[in-house]
Chains A and B, each alone.
Chain A
Amino acid sequence: DSGVTQTPKHLITATGQRVTLRCSPRSGDLSVYWYQQSLDQGLQFLIQYYNGEERAKGNILERFSAQQFPDLHSELNLSSLELGDSALYFCASSVEGMWNEQFFGPGTRLTVL
């Protein structure tokens, strides 16, 4: 157990819908990262927040957005869902904003039907 929690564990929804994925970092970690992992594209970095501020941005679609709240938990919002958004979404956290040891949560499996 990495200490990073993600909810929900599984999510099944229809195309066009909007979902919110939640992540609680390890106690004391200030930085949160979001990743998408699909079978055909591997692990893709989406976005990083450090202490509430956006720190780095990957190839995150405009339909996706994220934020980190004052209590350091983070949410990833996915809207206008498409079949291709079906994937495993990981959250990771680290103490600082640097790329050192990131601890990954168990992931949320999203299925869009």
Chain B
Amino acid sequence: EDKVVQSPLSLVVHEGDTVTLNCSYEVTNFRSLLWYKQEKKAPTFLFMLTSSGIEKKSGRLSSILDKKELFSILNITATQTGDSAVYLCAVELDQFYFGTGTSLTVIP
């Protein structure tokens, strides 16, 4: 049974578009929710979220957590080809649970 579900599975956009990636989870008592970016190599850390309603930002990327509705979103504005990657969401409980990821392709 999947504890973390990401949507969409895949997304293709043009450069300059804004995208929203979704991560929903079924558990309530978790320590943190994390977002990672994975290109053709190891995942790289993007954000860690622990509190509901507080937006984390880094350049064109931002993320927010809604603990009441059990989801998080990752927004990317003014997308660039370098944003093409798989974006992974994970929650920490007694162990760490990852979603299957959203594959984002940004075309020029």
A-B contacts, CB under 8 A, total = 49
B interface, size bucket: 20 to 34
A105-B95 Cα distance, complex, nearest whole Å: 20
Q: Which residues of B have CB within 8 Å of A57? A: 95
- Secondary structure call for the A interface: strand
Query: Given that A42-B98, A56-B96 are known contacts, is A99 also in contact with B48, CB under 8 Å in the complex?
Result: yes
In the complex the two chains form, what is the Cα distance from A66 to B24 in whole Å?
31
Q: Which residues of A contact B98 (CB under 8 A)?
A: 42-45
The 8 Å CB contact of A56, one of B42, B90, B95, is B95
Whole-angstrom distance between the alpha carbons of A113 and B98 in the complex? 28
The winner among A42, A56, A98 for most chain B CB atoms within 10 A is: A42
- B41→A106 contact, CB < 8 A: yes
A→B interface (CB under 8 Å): 2, 33, 42-45, 48, 56-58, 90, 92, 98-107
